[in-house]
Amino acid sequence: MNDTENKLNQALQRLQQCSQKIVQTRGYTMEVKSLKILEEMIREQMTNAHTRPATRTIR
């Protein structure tokens, strides 16, 4: 795993932890929505979603 992948993985883990904590305490808030967007944007980078047409992305 290279440095970039490491950073993305760490960021993803932190985002997941943050959103989980908020969901457990305050529910699905606006803050969770933006954390989830960020989380999914990172996930797309990691799965190279950009190289595949979106009609075939992870559902």
Partner 1 sequence: MRTLVLQLARFGDIYQTWPTLRALRRKFPDGELHVLVRARFATALEGFPGLIVHQLPTAEILGPVYNCGDIDLAQQELADFFAPLSELRFGQIVNLSFSPVSSYMTDLLATPDTVVRGYTRHSDGHLQIPDDPSAYFYAQVGVGRANRYHVTELFAAVAKVELTAEDFCAKPTANPRSGVVVHLGASSSDKIYPADLWVRALRTLRLNSVQTITLIGSQDERAISETVHRQLDADINIINLVGKTTLPALMDVIAGAQVVIGSDSAPIHMAALTATPVLNLSSRMVNFWETGPLTPGSRIFFVPMLSDLNPDLIGLNTVALLRGEPALDSCIERTDWNGPYQAWGQSFNDFSWQLIQALYSSGPYPALETKEDSLALNRLFELAELALMQLDRFINSDTRATASKILRQVDSLLIEVGRLEPRIDPLVQWFETQRLRIPPGETAATLILTRSLFEELRVICSLYRTVGNVEQEIKKARGLCRECVPELREYNVAAVHSSFYALVSTLVELARSQHLQKIDWALVLGELNKAVENGDWLNAADILEWKLEPAFAEAVGEMII
Binding site for partner 1 (CB under 8 A): 4, 7-8, 10-11, 14-15, 18, 23, 27-28, 30, 32-38, 40-45, 49-59
> In the complex, what is the shortest distance from the CB of residue 28 to partner 1, in angstroms, rounded to a whole number?
4
- DSSP letter at 53 equals -
> In the complex, what is the shortest distance from the CB of residue 25 to partner 1, in angstroms, rounded to a whole number?
14
Residue 2 CA: distances (Å) to CA of 8, 13, 15, 40, 50? 10, 17, 20, 20, 19
> In the complex, what is the shortest distance from the CB of residue 53 to partner 1, in angstroms, rounded to a whole number?
6
* Tokens matching residue 51: 């190289």
